């Protein structure tokens, strides 16, 4: 079994290689589930949101639209090519309340308790230590805030509980 750094490097390489085809119609589930996760959160105007494993912005962009110009969304990912794609898509929509950064979920490089909501859509299971990732995400949620993690199926976290 490789190290956590090996897993990060492999994930980044895989998703950087896939970036050119990430928005192919066959991959429309990213947008569908990203948007649905944001809808379920019922984000208020002005909210601050972190999207961990943001990819090409499938949940970050709908979040930025939902929180309005008074709000702020930060998307983080290990794949620079996907971040570039996300920036392009956000720019095409005229969104100025969103930022995309190269960062790791285990060390997102943001102060604690800064976000009203943190989302991670189909990304948590790429992190070898999922319980540590969930703890890292909870640390940046403000008191009373929400953490939304979307996974492939029921009972996914049973081994990590």
Lowest mean pLDDT among 2-6, 82-86, 139-143: 2-6
Q: What's the pTM value of the predicted model, to 2 decimals?
A: 0.80
How far apart CA 100 and CA 19 sit, in angstroms, is 15
How far apart CA 119 and CA 49 sit, in angstroms, is 8
CA torsion through residues 69, 74, 77, 81, sign: positive
Q: Over the stretch 8-44, which tens digit does the pLDDT of each residue have?
A: 777 777 666 666 555 655 556 667 888 999 999 999 9
pLDDT at 155: 60
Q: Over the stretch 66-115, which tens digit does the pLDDT of each residue have?
A: 999 999 999 999 999 999 999 999 999 999 999 999 999 999 999 999 99
Measured torsion, CA atoms of residues 138, 133, 149, 82, in degrees rounded to the nearest 10: 120
């Amino acid at each position: 079994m490789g190290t956590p750094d090996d897993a990060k490097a492999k994930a980044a390489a895989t998703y950087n290689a896939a970036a050119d085809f990430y928005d192919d119609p066959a991959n429309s589930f990213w947008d569908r589930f990203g948007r649905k996760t944001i809808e379920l959160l019922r984000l208020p105007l002005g909210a601050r949101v972190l999207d961990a494993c943001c990819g090409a912005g499938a949940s970050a962009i709908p979040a930025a639209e939902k929180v309005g110009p008074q709000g702020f969304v930060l998307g983080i990912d290990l794949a620079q090519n996907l971040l570039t794609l996300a920036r392009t898509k956000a720019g095409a929509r005229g969104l100025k309340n969103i930022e995309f950064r190269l960062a790791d979920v285990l060390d997102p490089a943001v102060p604690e308790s800064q976000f009203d909501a943190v989302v991670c859509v189909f990304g948590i299971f790429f992190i070898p230590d999922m319980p540590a990732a969930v703890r890292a995400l909870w640390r940046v949620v403000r008191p009373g805030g929400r953490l939304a993690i979307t996974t492939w199926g029921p009972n996914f976290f049973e081994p990590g509980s």
